[in-house]
Structures are given as C-alpha cells and as structure tokens.
Structure 1
Amino acid sequence: MNENGDLILRYLERLGVEYIFGVPGGAIEPLYNALARSERNGGPKAVIARHETGAAFMAEGYARETGKLGVCCATSGPGATNLLTGVASAYADSTPVLAITGQPSLQTFGMGALQEGSCTGINTVKLFEDCTHFNTLVSHSAQLEHKLMMAISHAMGNCPGPVHLSVPVDIMRMSVQSQAASGNLWAFIDHEVVPTYEAERLLYDELANKERVTILVGEGCFDSVDDILSLAEARQWSLVTTPRAKGLIPENHRLYRGVFGFAGHRSARESMLEANAQRIVVIGTALDEVTTGGWDHSAGLDRKRLVHISNNPDHLSRSTSALRCILGSPRLLLKRLNRRLKVEKPVKWDLCGHSTNGLPTNYLLDDSVNCVDRSSPIKPQAFFWHLSQSLTPQARVYADSGSSYLWAIHYWHVRKALDNGRTPFQIGIGFSSMGWAIGASVGAAAGAKGAPVICITGDGSALMSGQEITVALQENLNVLFIILNDSCLGMVKHGQALGGAEAIGTELPRVNFALMSEAMGVQAYSVNSFSDIDQIDLDHLLSQPGPCLLDVRVDAREVPPMGNRMRVLTGAATGEEYAS
C-alpha cells in the first residue's frame, strides 16, 4: 500500500534524512503509519518528543549537526501551535527545517472538527506565514508532490530556513500510483553564487593597499576558513568572529582577537576601531543586533569602512549603507582574491600558546581573574573556561538562551573546528528561546553518530523544557546536560539591576535537578565545588552512550557579559544610529 505519507518519506530518504521528530496524534496518524513502514525497511525513524516545541528544536539541532534537512511533525490544532516557537527559532537562525502538520479531513472544514486548524477555525497556516519561507495547505492529493519539492528547495536554498506543509488527514492517507519520488529537488538547493569579476575587482581595489584590515568571520564561512586564514596571515590582518561563528577560526591563532558583538571581547571591539582597521570586511553573516554588538556605530560599522560579502542576499539587505556589498560565494571570491594578491596557504598556521596562568594571550577576557578562581560557590567564568579546556575538542556544545550563552560566548574556549569544518559551538540566538539547547542537543546527538554533545542550560530553561532529557534516555543518545543552577532567571535578574529596573519575577525555588534526573532514570551528579568536578570522570561519561546530567551550583552574584544587550534595552544604541 502506497500512500502520500510514504511518498513524503521517499523524498526524505533521497535527502539522507534519518529522523523525523514529533508527537503523534489523530490528524497526523497516516504519516506515522508511513514512518512505521519506513523504519522496518531501514528508512527515516520516528523520534518522539515530549512537546512539539521540543520536536522543532530537535529538528534544528539535527540540521545544524548534519547539514541535512531537519524534519518535525505535529498533529492539528494545539500540536501545530506548539510547534510554532521552534519553527520561529529556525527562521530567526536560518536553519533548514521542514514542518509537517496535520488537519482534520477536508470535508469537515468549517464544521467544528476536533482540533480544527483550517481557514474556518484557528488558521494554523496563517500562523506560520511570518516565520517560514514557504507555507501552504495541501488541499488536493495531486498538489502534494510538487508542493513538497517546492518546500524542500526553499528550505535548503541560498536563503535557508523553515518551511511548512499543512496536510489534511484524508489527503495524507490517499493512495498514490508510485513511490518513485523522481521529481527534481535541486531548483534552489546547494548553489553557490559566483561573484562577478567586477565585484572581485572592486574588492581588490578596496583592500590591495590597506595595511590595517579586520575580517569579521560569520557563520557562512565554514567552507572558506583556510582562504581567510591564508589571507590574514599574508597581510597580518586581524580576525574576529561573530557569536554564531565562534570556533570557525582557531581561538589560539595569533591574529584572532575574539568574538565581536553579543557577549564579545574588548580586544575584538578594539580591532574594529578606525585606528586599527582602515577597512572592516564582514563575511557570511547578517548585520543584526547579535553580530554588531547592538549596532555599535562607534566600532566602525559605518559606510566609510565596511565591506560586506555573503552568498545569502538576505544578509546584505541590512547593510545598504556599506561601502561595498558583494553578493557571492565567500569561498569562490576569496580564492580569486588570494590569487590576485599572490597569497599562498602556509605550511602551518601561526598559533600561539596560553599565558602562565593558562589564559589566552591573543584576546582579552573580562574578569580574567575569575577564570582561575576555584573557590565555592563556583564562578561561571572558571567553570566554562575549565570545562572547555578539559573536555574532548570533538564534543558539540549547545548553549541555551540567557546567562548560559552569555557565559559560553565569552568564556568557552573552542580548541578546534569539527572534522567537517563546522564549528562545534552552537547557540539559538536569533529568537533566543529558553529551552532551545535541550531539544537541539538531542537532535544533534541523533545526527552525531555517537560523538558527544554537551547541552549547557539554566535552571529556568530546565524547568520549561527539561522533560526532553527523557528523549535522550529513550534513544540512548550521548548528551551531557549541564544545568547552571542559581535559583533565578539570571539574565533577567542582572538585566534589571544593570538597567535600574524593579527587581521582580526572577526568583526560582531551589531545585535538586540531580534527583529529578535520577527519577527520570538518567545518571546525575550534584556539583557544588571544583573538588566535585575533579571526582567525576567526564571523559568516561562522554565515551559511552546514553545521557548524563550535572546539576552545577553557580555563584548567582556573578554578572554575565551583557553590556551590549543593556545598551540596546536602555536606548543607548539604536538601529537609527547604526544606519546614520
């Protein structure tokens, strides 16, 4: 028996998709029937989340880890609306995700069907309209195949992001003549934009005679790092990364000055100032609040010195005031520029060591004295720095919204990129959904083939989405969950204090997450001091399948690096200032 659900799975098989994350229900049941048949034949496997938002986060984590399409599904009504936050997160961070939601039968539209999400009820297609690149109701069986191909092409094109298909239950279960899935998927998938020779000439003219240049490396540079490093070393230009690209450039490279932007480093900002940079070359990223440090006009993100390069036209849409905007593949453009400048790849990169106290010598950390403070309660600065130096560099790190990613961006030291050239450091910072890292780390672990994944989250996020830890248990996935436990919503609490706001709504009960974890069947440890950390064999934990949890009591008095965020919230920096 071949149904439309089977046809969908044949296309996903062609793309190498191994898992579909979701929660079953009546209106999506035919797709789960097809999944059961698929699993028996070695096709994509169903991973059952505890909440649909978690399923969408898992799909995003899987896509980030594998570079493949992430797929999530939900039933109609509340299943679809629960999925929405996770889809919006993928949209904000340009992650390719296919969301499939069910609907009651077409003939019941407008009749008050249970969990109806049609245009005559709570219109779920309309709700997805502003957070997807393609969004449609499949109203006839004959539409499904070509709408599916359109959705996949939009999801994985040069402007990647989530797409949504809403499929009524009777359409999903309709029989089809063939499972061949022979349609052309490649209309928008995996195409590099070849930069024009005029763009290459303009870039050469801007940079050829400049002695002081800073290159801001974005997340779209994962396939051009060698060309960037070769150029920087040949010309002795400074290198900084965006928060999303942290880890693409070796953090012990002598020319690396740290992260610029959200929770970034002073040395990175200083390298952007006019005295240190005649030109700033931004590559493979959008100029949003996170990347620009809250549209920090004083750091040189202005027309006089800014050159912006990206393969994604959406990135360039926010930099119309730049000196040069160049649409094209960074990889192809930099190879051609390096040939013009007679730049060759060196035998080995120019790396540097740490200082005598173990801290970096090429960029500056805030409160560096706290990085080597092993007193109790645990300083977050010391915990992040110590752990990043101790754990295997092949561990994937997913840091959650709030204080977790603030501390991680600034203090987690990425020792090397993954073997595929991508960064092991991931943040869901575009939409900044609390609990994102919990689901995303599960999805990443599903795609990581046993490589360890580390989820760093806060107690507030764990109380929102901690139930997804049981998915890692059920699927026997290698995830180390680290909960920063300070009995408060830390980023909000410190933001209120820094901004002069009323102190309200940030206190949380003192929760023993180790006991909660053990009640769920997950091995756990309470960590109250560095001596507790020293007694845990972390290498052993990360070398075996199955999840584990560390409940880490951190010093709630320590303020995370959130100065840029506070300038925006208090009105000290605005988009208007940046555009001037």
Structure 2
Amino acid sequence: MTLTSSPVNLGDSENQENSQILGADALMDSLRLHGVSTIFGYPGGAILPIYDSVYKAEKQGWLKHILVRHEQGAAHAADGYARSTGSVGVCFGTSGPGATNLVTGIATAQMDSVPIVVITGQVPRPAIGTDAFQETDIFGITLPIVKHSWVVRDPSEIASVVAQAFFIAASGRPGPVLIDIPKDVGQELFNYQPVQPGSLIPPGFQLPKEPDSLSIAKALKLIEDSQRPLVYAGGGVISAGAHNSLSELAKRHHLPVTTTLMGKGAFDERDSLSVGMLGMHGTAYANFAVTECDLLIAIGARFDDRVTGKLDTFAPRAKIIHFEVDPAEVNKNRTADVALIGDLGISLKQLLELSLRKKVQPNTSQWLGLIDKWKKQYPLVVPPAEGMIYPQEVLLAVRDIVPEAYITTDVGQHQMWAAQYLRNGPRQWISSAGLGTMGFGVPAAVGVQTALPNEKVVCIAGDASILMNIQELGTISQYKLNTKIIIINNHWQGMVRQWQQSFYEERYSATNMLNGEPDFVGLANAFGIKGILIKNRNEFVDQLKEALLEPGPILIDVNVRRDENCYPMVPPGKSNAQMVGLPAHPELAINPNRKCPSCGFTSSSKNKFCPECGSSI
C-alpha cells in the first residue's frame, strides 16, 4: 500500500469523514477533538509514525509537544498537568524501554486517582509475539495499574478507543488508561470517521449512581446529633471539585476538618475549623481529634495505613459516614454506618440542600474548645533561629514569600514538612501520596508550569529525590519554564535515615548522600539554569525571596541541619495518639497505673491516651 506523505488538515475533522488518512493522523485528530493541546513525550522507533503526525499538528499550531528527557518524566509531567488543571493529561512513549519507563508514572497516577492517557508505540502487528527488537507486552505489564487499556490492531478503532479512553480516565474515580498502537497501524491508510467526546459510553462501564436520599437524611441526622464530629477529607474532594460544598457544610454545622496528604487544599487551612493534616506526620491536634471524635465524616478518603495507624485504634468510638465515588473503597478498611456512594459533588450538594431546609443548632462548642487547647499545647514546632538553617524555616519562608504558589514535591522528609507548614488552595498541592514516588517533583512541576505559565510554581525537593529525575532540568531549560526548585539539602535520604535512627538502632545503611553528591548549582548552570547556594542563616530569607521573585527558572540549594527529624510521627503499628516527638505538657499528665476503660490495658505512662488502643484514659 502506498502511504500518503502530504500533510493532512487535522483541523477540519468533518471534511475528513470517509476520507483516506493515516492511522497516526487519525490519532492526532481524535486527541484534538478531545481538547488536547499539550502532550509530554519522548520519540523512538515504534512511535515514529505518530511523531510524524505530531510534527504536522505543531505546524498547524494547535498542539504543543514537550520533549522530556526520560519517559518517566513524561508520565509525571502529564500527572502534574492533570492535578493542577482537572483536565486529562497525555503522554507518549515508544515501545520496549520507552514503555516500561512509563510504568512508575502510571502507577503513581493510579494510586492517587489522576486522569492521564498514556499512548505507547508498539512493534508492527506481524512482529508481536516474536520477541522483536524493543518489543514489550506493555498491555500485560500495566494491567494492574490502569483503569483500562487497549492494543489497537485496526486503525478504524482509533477514534472510538480515544473517546473511550478519555471518558474512562475522567469519569467516576479518575485514573490512568493506556493505548498501545503498533507501528504499522499508524502507517495504514483507512476511512476515518471521527467520534465526538462523550458520544460513546464504553461497553459495561457504569457511571456513578445518584446518592440515596434516605442515606443523605441519615447522614444529616448523625451530624446533627454529634457532639464531637470530625470531617476527614481526602483527594476525592478535589477531584470532584467539591471544596466549596465542604467549606459551606463545615461552617454551617461548625465541623472541624482534617485532610489527608492528597486532600491538602480541599479546605482552607487558615480557617479556625482546620486542624491540618492527620496521620503518620500529621498535626498532633488532628490525630488527637480523630482518636476522640464520636463521628467521623470521611469524604473522598480511603482509610489508608499512613492515615489510620493501627487500624482498630483509628476513631475507635466514632460512627462513620463515608462519602465515596468508588464502591470498592466502602467498608474495605472500616465499616461505614452510613455510606453515600456516588459523585461527591452531588452528594454534598444534596446534603447541604437538606440542611438548609432545617434550622441548624450546632452543639460542638466544647469540642472545638478542646481542639483549640490541643492546638496551643501541641503546635507545629518553629525551631529557634540559631545555628544551621532548619528545614522548617525554609518552608515557613516559602509560605510567606509566595503564599499563592502551586507546590510540587518529591518524597521524603521535605515532603512532610511542606505538607505540615504550607497552606494551599485546591489543586495547588501536587505530591505523590499513595505510591510515594521519589523523583516526582521536578517533572510534575514541568507539567504544572506548562499548563499554567502565568502562575508561580515551586518544587520542594530533597537532595536524594531530585537525583531520580534531575535530567528534567533540561526540559525546564529548553522551554524556559518559570519554575523554582528548592532543594532541602541535608545530604541524606532523610526519611530513611530517620527510620534507621528510630527503629534500627542508628545503623545508617546506604542512606548517606554526601559522598558523590553533585554541585547542584554547577549542575543547574550546566543545564543553562541559574543556581543559588544558601548556607548562611543571616542571609537566607533575603536570598530566598530574591530568587523566588526573580523571573526565569532557578534552582536553590539550601543546606539545612543534617540531623533534623520530622515530627510529630506515629510509629508503624501504633495508634495515632501514640505520636513521638511531641513536647511534654505536664498539665495534661494523668495519674500513673491507670486502667484503660476501653481495652483494660494498664499503663504507667503519663500520656492522656492509652498506649495500647489510643482511647482516653
């Protein structure tokens, strides 16, 4: 078959109906129909026909392709694009190692319910199954970490597959999907028939059901009767765009609100009702509140282990209301007294409408007073302004200098300090939570800054994490992205070192990063990016402010105290009330040898909470 070499007008799909075009051109036009204007990717042999169509699309002006330096960076950039905008992110990779390099990014998106469409090249159809050069069964490899996937064996399937892919990625609980396209499918001429977005519901796919009105009434009754309620908001609130409804519900019923790492930004952390993040490195007052509450209102959260600690001690005396779009998450880790399965935005709106028809008389004043007392007694620590720079000080300075910035993070101590001290609006916190992917921050910032070129974007990185994908400095340099990267540099794999200190008798195996660590400023300069080294306490705030407010990409290497630990911390297998690293407050001490009324455990500890089950004693 003779292939057309003349450019196809991808901007007029109606005129293309029933016309002979290449499979690769049909793919690009289908993406255009679904609102795609940015793609992150890296070319290679099997995907070259598609990149030839990318060339045409860029010439026509409707597409911007961002060339990353590693396919993992493409997946994370598409992820950051999606988290910051609410739109579906798109990335490309070729067959074999190009496809397998995308796997970590796909798993990251799956764990955090982020909608991305991943398109990979594949060896030609006759070569599939022959162990051809750069052949990998990426369809099989990714089955456990995608919502759905396809191998396109006929170009006539392209338009419908793309329509299904975008529908599935963004509907219900969002997540990644994968389309694998053999090279010869992209090169084949066929009669293209466009498929409009939303016009094709995939076979067997079920949209979330409408919330049950009886369950909504039961939930409201529990809220009205509760004296110690607590809202536990997760990333589902942000995915559903339900943050305004959450705020109205909390203020109307005087409900304190705690958020997960994924839920940061779902509720204004400057509001007096906010108790910040809960869990392993959550605030003390959030963890005390969840231990003592009598009603836990879980909204778009999944009761994961980093939040609950020892599961049977998590909210041990609370009734549970669970708002959730994914039925598989309901009753998985905790049994719900009332489950509201469906779109969170619709469920919260209907709950509010029912509440507004009634006279509300909140009875949570004593509870809020107790939480305020905990806030005063167990605040997040602000270290003394002496000696080497503390990492917490850096985050507080960032909060003051660029309060409205979009924040991406890598994973580790710096991530937890950022979560504790920074305050973010909806979609302004972009961090790998479920998978905990080191190397996420820089490429995610590429995605956010590409999507939002006029916004401040700051990546908070660790000196170990940033090395995982530091090649993406080349991407930032090439596209002159106005991204600021702050390295909280303690010359360790900081969180691993903290665990080795706490639980492995200070046997620091393979965590010291000092030997072999690069000159980050010199490295940034080698990529054509300005680099700044900050060591001096007396000048660090001024240096940081100047760098953050200066236009253009800048890498800021801040050397901080090497041995600083991230507290509070809930040790693994313990209840949330058993935090370490809290300041002592004698006024909260109890008489020794008290017997726990819940589990019968006798303790000589002066802690207010039972060390066995977390209940008040």
Question: Taking structure 1 as the reference length, what is the TM-score of the superposition?
Answer: 0.87
Aligned to 1:194: 210
Change (3 A) 1:317 1:547: farther
1:29 aligns with 2:48: yes
SS at match of 1:507: coil
Identify the match of residue 383 of structure 1 among 388, 391, 394.
394
Give how far 1:320 is off: 5.4
Change (3 A) 1:512 1:243: same
Give how far 1:41 is off: 1.4
Aligned to 1:403: 413
Structure 2 CA distance for aligned equivalents of residues 111 and 372 of structure 1: 61
Contact residue 75 and residue 106 of structure 2 kept, 8 A: yes
Paired residue type of 2:64: K
Unmatched 5+ stretches in structure 2? 1-7, 9-20, 361-371, 580-612
SS at match of 1:245: coil
Contact residue 89 and residue 433 of structure 1 kept, 8 A: yes
Contact residue 152 and residue 158 of structure 2 kept, 8 A: yes
Structure 1 CA distance for aligned equivalents of residues 508 and 387 of structure 2: 25
Aligned to 2:250: 232
Change (3 A) 1:399 1:514: same
Aligned to 1:357: none
Change (3 A) 1:9 1:313: farther
5 Å-filtered alignment, 1:452-467, equals 452-467=456-471
SS at match of 1:165: strand
Aligned to 1:294: 309
Identify the match of residue 38 of structure 2 among 13, 19, 24.
19
Aligned to 2:553: 547
Contact residue 450 and residue 477 of structure 1 kept, 8 A: no
Structure 2 CA distance for aligned equivalents of residues 15 and 465 of structure 1: 30
Identify the match of residue 249 of structure 1 among 267, 275, 279.
267
Structure 2 CA distance for aligned equivalents of residues 127 and 79 of structure 1: 13
SS at match of 1:176: strand
Identify the match of residue 152 of structure 1 among 166, 171, 187.
166
Contact residue 522 and residue 531 of structure 2 kept, 8 A: yes
Aligned to 1:512: 519
Change (3 A) 1:83 1:331: closer
Structure 2 CA distance for aligned equivalents of residues 110 and 329 of structure 1: 42
Q: CA RMSD in A?
A: 2.8
Identify the match of residue 432 of structure 1 among 429, 436, 451.
436
Give how far 1:272 is off: 1.7
Question: Taking structure 2 as the reference length, what is the TM-score of the superposition?
Answer: 0.82
Identify the match of residue 69 of structure 1 among 88, 94, 113.
88
Contact residue 385 and residue 413 of structure 1 kept, 8 A: no
Paired residue type of 1:373: P
SS at match of 2:404: coil
SS at match of 2:509: coil
Structure 2 CA distance for aligned equivalents of residues 563 and 142 of structure 1: 55
Contact residue 258 and residue 265 of structure 1 kept, 8 A: yes
Structure 2 CA distance for aligned equivalents of residues 361 and 450 of structure 1: 41
Structure 2 CA distance for aligned equivalents of residues 164 and 565 of structure 1: 37
Once the two structures are superposed, residues 267-325 of structure 1 have per-residue CA deviations (whole angstroms, 9 ceiling, x without a partner) of: 11122233xx22110111212123x24344334167x5111112333432524522222
Unmatched 5+ stretches in structure 1? 118-122, 347-359
SS at match of 2:103: helix
Paired residue type of 1:339: E
SS at match of 2:190: coil
Contact residue 22 and residue 49 of structure 1 kept, 8 A: yes
Paired residue type of 1:313: P
Give how far 1:535 is off: 3.3
Give how far 1:235 is off: 2.7
Contact residue 295 and residue 301 of structure 1 kept, 8 A: no
Identify the match of residue 174 of structure 1 among 188, 199, 207.
188
Structure 2 CA distance for aligned equivalents of residues 492 and 568 of structure 1: 19
Aligned to 1:354: none
Identify the match of residue 487 of structure 1 among 480, 491, 508.
491
Identify the match of residue 140 of structure 1 among 154, 171, 175.
154
Paired residue type of 1:520: F
Give how far 1:184 is off: 4.2
Paired residue type of 2:313: S
1:48 aligns with 2:62: no
Structure 1 CA distance for aligned equivalents of residues 396 and 118 of structure 2: 37
SS at match of 2:104: helix
Paired residue type of 1:65: S
Identify the match of residue 562 of structure 2 among 553, 556, 560.
556
Aligned to 1:96: 115
Contact residue 224 and residue 331 of structure 1 kept, 8 A: yes
Give how far 1:466 is off: 0.7
Contact residue 61 and residue 440 of structure 1 kept, 8 A: yes
Change (3 A) 1:182 1:365: farther
Give how far 1:183 is off: 6.2
Structure 1 CA distance for aligned equivalents of residues 407 and 215 of structure 2: 37
What is the number of equivalent residue pairs in this alignment? 542
Could you tell which deviates more after superposition, 193-202 or 21-30? Answer: 193-202
Structure number with bigger Rg: 2
Contact residue 33 and residue 197 of structure 2 kept, 8 A: no
Could you tell which deviates more after superposition, 218-227 or 457-466? Answer: 218-227
Structure 1 CA distance for aligned equivalents of residues 109 and 376 of structure 2: 32
Give how far 1:37 is off: 0.7
Could you tell which deviates more after superposition, 434-443 or 151-160? Answer: 151-160
Structure 2 CA distance for aligned equivalents of residues 137 and 363 of structure 1: 54
Structure 2 CA distance for aligned equivalents of residues 423 and 398 of structure 1: 10
Once the two structures are superposed, residues 370-426 of structure 1 have per-residue CA deviations (whole angstroms, 9 ceiling, x without a partner) of: x253334210112112221221x3310011111121111122233xx2xxxx23122
Once the two structures are superposed, residues 26-58 of structure 1 have per-residue CA deviations (whole angstroms, 9 ceiling, x without a partner) of: 100111111111111122221111111111111
Paired residue type of 1:381: Q
Could you tell which deviates more after superposition, 482-491 or 310-319? Answer: 310-319
Change (3 A) 1:133 1:338: closer
Give how far 1:99 is off: 1.0
Aligned to 2:287: 269
Contact residue 59 and residue 70 of structure 1 kept, 8 A: yes
Paired residue type of 2:55: A
Change (3 A) 1:543 1:18: farther
Give how far 1:145 is off: 2.6
Aligned to 1:531: 538
Aligned to 2:598: none
Identity fraction in percent: 27
Contact residue 110 and residue 176 of structure 2 kept, 8 A: yes
Contact residue 90 and residue 97 of structure 1 kept, 8 A: yes
Contact residue 462 and residue 488 of structure 2 kept, 8 A: yes
Once the two structures are superposed, residues 226-249 of structure 1 have per-residue CA deviations (whole angstroms, 9 ceiling, x without a partner) of: 333333233322111111111221
1:163 aligns with 2:180: no
Structure 1 CA distance for aligned equivalents of residues 290 and 409 of structure 2: 26
Contact residue 163 and residue 195 of structure 2 kept, 8 A: no
Paired residue type of 1:29: L
